[in-house]
Amino acid sequence: MKRLFVAVKIHPDDQFKEIYVELRKKLILDKIKWIEPQNLHLTLKFLGKTPTEDIKRIDSVLKEVAARHSIFGMSMQNSGIFGSRYDPRVIWLGTDNNQDLTALGEDVLNSLDEAGFERDRQNFVPHLTLGRIKQLTNKKYFQDVISQYHETFFQKQVVEQFYLFESILQPSGPVYKVLKSYDLKQ
């Protein structure tokens, strides 16, 4: 069994890193498990624990999906939280209202569902997780900081491919290993 997910890799530029470091510094007193820049990704489908023999079928489906989609650009902007104001769980970063990204995400979900990998009950909402909140020292201060970045532009990125990743859980945090890559059409 391998713990798998399908995602677009994020390649943080200098502006993104600067804003990210600034945000982390402002929230340094809080217990937040920050995602390291080299691990930032936008999940298209979380497969979870998957038998190794299913990888061939997943690979075949994802090759077909990639062949139907062209390279596109996206902007990462608009941060927020998942959970309530009183019990926030995740700090996330959204994307612009990107029809190409939404179409790719929906195609991945629907095609894998047809191949027997059940679709999530929720709609596809493109986002990347910046950090998982463990404990806050001051919820009001936290909300104030997050609201400062609500409409912040982080970066533009061209999406030329997506990946099938294996997530290897370790005490120091997950390690993401690329199993397959899928190039979008020119």
Phi, psi of 121 (to 5 degrees): -70, -25
Q: Apex CA 116: angle with CA 111 and CA 121, to 5°? A: 75
Check if 11 is active-site. Answer: no
> Which candidate in 11, 69, 127, 150 is catalytic?
127
Evaluate whether 6 touches 105 at the Cβ level (below 8 Å).
no
- Catalytic pick among 11, 41, 69, 150: 41
Cα separation, 62 vs 117, in Å, equals 12
3-state secondary structure 69-102: CECEEEEEEEEEEEECCCCEEEEEEEECCCHHHH
**Residue 69 annotated as catalytic:** no
- Which residues are known to be catalytic? 41, 127
